Amino acid sequence: MIEANLIGFSTSAEGDTFTAGYNPATAETLHGQFPGATEGEIKRTVQLASSAFHVYGKISGTKKAKFLNAIADEILALGDGLIERCCDESGLPEARIIGERGRTIGQLRMFADLVAKGSWIEASIDTAQPDRAPVPKPDLRRMLVPLGPVVVFAASNFPLAFSTAGGDTVSALAGGNPVIVKAHGAHPGTSSLVGSAIIKAAQKTGMPDGVFSLLHGSGSKVGQTLILHSGVKAAGFTGSQTAGRILYDLANKRKVPIPFFAEMGSINPVLVLPNIVKNSASQTAEMLAGSITMGVGQFCTNPGLIVGLESESLRSFINELGQALSGIGGGVMLSDKISGNYNSELDAALNQQGITVESRSENQEGPNRGRTTLASVSGDTFLENPRLAKEIFGPFSLVVKCREQHQLDQVLRSLDGQLTGSVIGEENELNEFQTSIDLLQEKVGRLIFNSVPTGVEVGPSMQHGGPYPASSDSRFTSVGTGAIYRFVRPLSVQNWPNSQLPDELKNENPLNIWRMIDHQWTKDSI
């Protein structure tokens, strides 16, 4: 574990402020002091990444695949030391971290396979027609190319899968962009271990110096300085709406604005239909209770809002859910800051007029615990108080009891953009609530039937992103192979000599990739 900033293949420790690891379960400071990056170190990092881009942006998909697979190998080679440090810094159980390491490895190998096959670049060729009248048609060829150095802000709640070698990093690297990671202060040691593994993989596979760097320090200093540097061409962020919006605004106020892809949380509304709460209350309550408390509620897909029609069946369902939640209890939260924010925001919400506390788990001994809580409110009160629609990051959910379907639709219409929306009901009642479902669909990036939003499958069909403020651009996903399209742009070349074209666009199609030639998808040569 290197107690320094990783600037390409070199280390640097010029700063006089330090970040230390912290165990939220014991409130103990862990060994290791990680110096915050200075302005000079930040400038050198971006300059090195810019130089690396001129090489890395042109290497073949096969070589990028070897690099990504090598990163996976080096992370695995860290063994139990990585798992132990990650558990210590996050308070998460070993099984969760081992599973998250598996997801991280899976993402790396998935993108390696994607770039090795090569068709993702969407090559398109319109062949020339010099004899066309009245105007000759030129030869036009188009493909996706990388943007340049990308800054990635590591997330707190996934210290591996959304952090140093997480989805933002791997998708940016897969697209041909050097990456600078701003390490999260909650897990500096884990970040250092994984960052060193990436550097080792880069050296072993012949990548240019500067293809990856890792900087420690605060978001207000290091993060904002990186966003404002003219050499940075894009950024990926996972975190709070407050921090994400600050960085997003900075990215757009630059002399040359850059794409800033932020995933900023969600309350993930769940629409429970009448028949399901009447006929399957216990099963539905057990399913939702597991989702609400998974990871002590510290998932961006935590179901924080449940909406239904007032009835005796709904009242029975609320009781069942309350009992299920009280049986699961609370747990250690990721950091003292997250724990403090959860408890203060929860107390503020429960003190709002018209709120009924339905269930609270017992207080647990030890620091940084989050009490599992269920509350309810009438549809009228919810619509009158916009504060009740804000995310509370932790094991909390609010049930909104609507008088009739028109009010239920009003509640759905009032919501901000969300990552997910779930419909839990019987198939024979979906048509009756089609308007409600349509309203929910307009608000979300992923629409779910009879399942919970937690558990984000990593694959080509996943959409993890939704209308603002769930994410800053709902056209893109931060999970799955589609994440690569955030960090590339289209480039057309006209009448270019075949010998000077990239392999993806050459007549002979040496990479044997799928291309659209004169409006037809084919692997044929020209």
Tell me the catalytic residues.
Answer: 263, 300
Q: In angstroms, what CA-CA distances link 58 with 53, 444, 503?
A: 8, 36, 11
Q: Are strands 356-360 and 373-378 parallel, antiparallel or unpaired?
A: antiparallel
Q: Tell me how far apart the alpha carbons of residues 193 and 174 are, in angstroms, rounded to a whole number.
A: 21
63: its two tokens:
């070589």
Instruction: Tell me which residue of 271, 347, 360, 277 sits closest to 318, measured CA to CA.
Output: 277
Instruction: Tell me which residue of 431, 353, 361 sits closest to 388, measured CA to CA.
Output: 353
Q: Does an H or E element contain 105, and which?
A: helix 94-117
Instruction: Tell me which residue of 176, 259, 273, 182 sits closest to 221, measured CA to CA.
Output: 182
Long-range contacts of 204-209 (CB under 8 A, 24+ apart): 204/70, 204/74, 205/63, 205/66, 205/67, 205/70, 206/63, 207/52, 207/56, 207/59, 207/67, 208/51, 208/52, 208/55, 208/56, 208/178, 209/8, 209/9, 209/10, 209/48, 209/52
Q: Are strands 369-370 and 331-332 parallel, antiparallel or unpaired?
A: antiparallel
- Terminal-residue alpha carbon distance, the chain: 52
